[in-house]
Structure 1
Amino acid sequence: MTIFLQSLDYQLWHIIVNGPRFPMRTVEGVESMKPENEYNDNDFRMLQLNSKAKHVLFYAVGPNEFNRISSCDTAKEMWDLLEVTYEGTNQVKESKISMLVHEYEFFLMHDNESISDMFTRFTTIINSLKNLGKSYSNQERKILRCLPKSWTPKVTAIEEAKDLSTFSLEQLLGSLMTHETTMKNHENVEVKKKKSIALKASKEESESDEE
C-alpha cells in the first residue's frame, strides 16, 4: 500500500502519515483557519490531496474496514485506525517484535531443508520486523551461522574469500544454492556407486550359489 500510494503521488503518503495541511492565515499575530473564499490554488491542491488519499484508502479496504473508517475526516485518521486494527496497539507491536526477535536470534536451518526454503523463512522474519520498525544489519553473517555442521567447509571458504560487508544477501544465496546443487550431485553419484557395488555383489553371490 505504501508503494502504491507513493507511486500515485508521493505527497499522498506524506499526508497519510503526518495529516493534511489545512489552509491557515495569521491576523494580528493570531493563526486561524482561512475562510474558503480566501483559498488559493495551493490550498485547494493540499485539501484535494487529503480527499484523494481518503478515496484510495476507501477503495483498498473491504466492507468491514470501510465501516470502521467511513466516519474519519482525514486520511491520517483512517490510516491510524487501520494500523491499530491490523497491527494492534504499541503494546501488541512490542509483543510481536519480541517474538520475531526471538525467532531471528535462534534461527537455524532445519534438517533436510533446502537453502531456498530456509531463505524464504528468514526473509519472512526480516520483513516482518522491518514492517514493525526493527531492522538488522549483517544478515549475511547470520545466514552463515544458521547452517548445519556439514556446511562448515563452505562457510569457512566464504568467510575467508569474501568481504561480508560488501557481499550482498542475494550473492550469498546464489553461492549457497550452487554449493547445495554440487553436494546433491555428489550424493547422487555415491548412491549410484553403492547400488552398483551391491548389485555386483548380489550377482557374484548368485553365481557362487549356482556353482
Structure 2
Amino acid sequence: MTSNTLSFNAPQTFNGENYQIWAIKMKSYLEAYDLWEVVMEDKPIQQLTEKSSDAEIKLHSEEKIKKHKAKIVIQNSVADSIFSKIIACETAKEAWEKLEKEIRLLGEDFKDNRIVEKILLTIPERFESKISALEESKDLSTISLVELISALQAQEQRRAFRQDKIVEGIFYANYQKRKVDYPPCKYCKKKTYLEKFCWWRFDAICGSCKQTGHVTKVCKFKDTQDKSQALLVEEECEDEFY
C-alpha cells in the first residue's frame, strides 16, 4: 500500500549531469513507495462498471493515484531545463524512457564534441583557411562532427580538382614544347615526322607483297597474303600427313 505521507520532492534534482547516479537513487526512491512497477510496466487500470464492488472501486482509485504520484515524482526531480523535454509525456513510464533517450543523445553529442575538438587541434595546415571560414560563419563549439567532416571533404575535393587541372596543364605545356614541325614529307605531305620514316617512301619494300613504295603495316594486300600463307601451310601439313 502506498503511503499517504509521500514527499513528492525527490532526494536529488537531475540537471543533466551524473544521470546514472540519479537514476539509481530515483529507482530506490520509487521502490520505497511502491511506485517503480508503475514506471516500468504502466499496466492499464481496470475500468469500473455499475456493478463494480466497493473493493474494486477502492483498488481503481489507488492504482490511479499511484500513476499520478509516479509521474509527479519524476517531474519534480528534474531541473526546469530537463522538465521541458518530458513536459508532454502522459505517463511516468513515458517520461522515464524519454529521459533515457535524451541522455543517450547527450552522450553521443558529447562524444562528437570531443572528436571535433581533437580534429580542430590536430588538423593539417592545408585546412586552416577552411577552419577560419567556418569560424567566421558559425560557432565551432556547436558544429557537429558530420558537418565538420563534410566541410573538410568538400575542400579536399576542390583541392584535388585544382591539382588535377595544374598537372593537366603541365603535361599539355610539355607536349607543346616537345612538338616539332618537320618539313613536309615529299611522299605523304605530313609534317609530324622525318621523311625517312614515312610509310610511303619510294625505297620502302613491303614484307607482305614484296612491292616497293610502302611498308607492310599499310599494305592493302596484307590480309590476303596472310590468308594465302596460312592455306599454303595447311596444304603442306595435309600432304605430309597423307
Pairwise TM-score range, normalised by the shorter structure = 0.3 to 0.5
Could you state the TM-score of these two structures normalised by the residue count of structure 1? Answer: 0.34
Could you state the TM-score of these two structures normalised by the residue count of structure 2? Answer: 0.29
Instruction: Answer with 1 or 2: which has the greater Rg.
Output: 2
Structure with greater helix share of residues = 1
